[in-house]
Amino acid sequence: MTWRVRREADLEALFRHSAFPSKISIINPSFSVKFQSLAAMTVIVPEPVLEESCNGESVKERQIDGKIDLSGEFTVPDSNAFGHSFRDYEKESERKAGVEEFYRVNHINQTYAFAKRKKEEYGRLEKAEMSIWECIELLNEFVDESDPDLDEPQIEHLLQSAEAIRRDYPDEDWLHLTALIHDLGKVLLHPSFGGEPQWCVVGDTFPLGCAFDESIVHHQYFKQNPDYADPVLSTRLGVYTENCGLDKVTISWGHDEYMYLVMKGNEVRLPPAAFFIVRFHSFYALHRSGAYQYLMNDEDKEMLKWLKIFNKYDLYSKSKVRVNVEEVKPYYMSLINKYFPDKLRW
């Protein structure tokens, strides 16, 4: 497998956007001397994707309230590992049909009553007792069926996003760890958790108890959701009040809310922004489309800034480039020990 790069500028961009530049090397080192020293390293060769260019937009929003001054630069790639733009749910691809079927089933079955019931059931944290790393290893076998951009096991995605954010925000260790753990709730798929079906574990999330916003992926399938025609649940505010705060909102059930409950129910020393990121990272209608602002309070608006930063790394670090787990494990273990108890109730 080879990244086909024609111009030196593209190679440069590849280095910049890769979470693991030290693992990239050049098969045919006909580029400038600048890169020749790297030619001795291992060749990473994901599927041919990068043909013409990978000129992406640079991430500039690196200051929050002027508190952090960050160096480094993350370049958003033009295309995902399949050569398509990210989050393109209409584009014909090997993943399209499966992803659409996922959302059809998800949208029909995620109701207000269902999500409240699941939250109640899993919120008791009676399913397992294990460490963060044990949980990470359980995700080795799962591929997310809702994701048009990635078909790698989830452990790869966790490490890819954590390593990418670590490069650009070297001093924010809590953010590296947040990336590492943000999708651990997908452990609900594991047989020891009852092997929940994908439709109630992964995919974008959205509020229940009020109208479904049209910006939600494959919105058309909500027509078959019982809440769609409900006289209260189908209104703009539904069961909520203006600016009540997202904490009061019942969000569709899945890995985000579950991992948030696990963090809340154990002695986790991460900052509030980490909890917010984990809980709402799949809520694209909010953080990408700007919908449902009327449910947010002032604190949510502050936290949203962090979520938007995080999202770039969560989404655009998805690639075929594998991380060497053993190499990075000691660093992440030190963070786990700093912020989490040895064993957690799940």
Ligand X SMILES: O[C@H]1[C@H](O)[C@@H](O)[C@H](O)[C@@H](O)[C@H]1O
Is the Cβ of residue 178 or residue 282 nearer to Fe ion in the bound state? 282
Nearest-10 Cα torsion for 284, 290, 295, 300: 80
- Alpha carbon distances (Å) from 196 to 188, 263, 295: 6, 20, 29
- Say if residue 87 carries a ligand binding annotation: yes
Q: For tokens 């499966």, what's the residue?
A: 98
Applying CB under 5 A, the site for Fe ion has a residue count of: 3
What is the C-alpha separation between 17 and 78, in angstroms, rounded?
A: 10
Q: Does 183 bind ligand X (CB under 6 A)?
A: yes
Contact pattern from residue 133 through residue 172 relative to Fe ion, giving x for each residue in contact according to CB under 5 A and a dash for the rest? ----------------------------------------
What is the C-alpha separation between 18 and 10, in angstroms, rounded?
A: 12
**What is the token pair recorded at 100?**
């659409």
Is the Cβ of residue 10 or residue 149 nearer to Fe ion in the bound state? 149
- Count of beta carbons in the 10 Å neighbourhood of residue 118: 20
Write down the H helix ranges in the chain: 8-17, 33-36, 96-109, 112-123, 132-138, 154-168, 173-181, 255-265, 272-280, 284-287, 298-316, 325-339
Of 224-283, binders to Fe ion (CB under 5 A) are 282
Which DSSP string corresponds to 13-41? HHHHH-S-GGG---SS--S-HHHHGGGGS
Choose from ligand X, Fe ion, none: what does 227 bind? Cβ within 5-8 Å by kind.
none
Q: Which of 82, 115, 135, 144 is the binder for ligand X (CB under 6 A)?
A: 144
Q: Amino acid letter at 99? A: V
- Say if residue 183 carries a ligand binding annotation: yes
Choose from Fe ion, ligand X, none: what does 147 bind? Cβ within 5-8 Å by kind.
ligand X
Q: Least CB distance from residue 176 to ligand X, whole Å?
A: 18
Q: Does 314 bind Fe ion (CB under 5 A)?
A: yes
Q: Which of 183, 196, 204, 300 is the binder for Fe ion (CB under 5 A)?
A: 183
Q: Least CB distance from residue 99 to ligand X, whole Å?
A: 8
- Say if residue 32 carries a ligand binding annotation: no
Q: Which of 19, 132, 202, 274 is the binder for ligand X (CB under 6 A)?
A: 202
Q: Least CB distance from residue 259 to Fe ion, whole Å?
A: 9
What is the C-alpha separation between 107 and 288, in angstroms, rounded?
A: 19
Q: Which of 78, 107, 118, 203 is the binder for ligand X (CB under 6 A)?
A: 203
Q: What share of the chain is helix, strand, coil (3-state, %, to 5)?
A: 50, 5, 50
- Say if residue 282 carries a ligand binding annotation: yes
- Say if residue 203 carries a ligand binding annotation: yes
Q: For tokens 């009020």, what's the residue?
A: 210
Q: Does 227 bind ligand X (CB under 6 A)?
A: no
Of 117-136, binders to ligand X (CB under 6 A) are none
Q: Does 204 bind ligand X (CB under 6 A)?
A: yes
Is the Cβ of residue 145 or residue 227 nearer to ligand X in the bound state? 145
Q: Does 146 bind ligand X (CB under 6 A)?
A: yes
- Say if residue 186 carries a ligand binding annotation: yes
Q: Least CB distance from residue 241 to Fe ion, whole Å?
A: 28
Q: For tokens 């608006």, what's the residue?
A: 301
Q: Does 196 bind ligand X (CB under 6 A)?
A: no
- Say if residue 73 carries a ligand binding annotation: no
**What is the token pair recorded at 109?**
């079955």
Nearest C-alpha neighbor of 187 from the set 227, 151, 158, 221: 158
Q: Does 147 bind ligand X (CB under 6 A)?
A: yes
- Say if residue 88 carries a ligand binding annotation: no
Q: How far apart are the first and last CA of the chain?
A: 39
**Binding site for substrate: which residues?**
87, 144-146, 186, 203-204, 281-282
Residues that bind ligand X (CB under 6 A): 144, 146-147, 183, 202-204, 281-282, 284
Q: Which residues make up the interface to Fe ion (CB under 5 A)?
A: 183, 282, 314
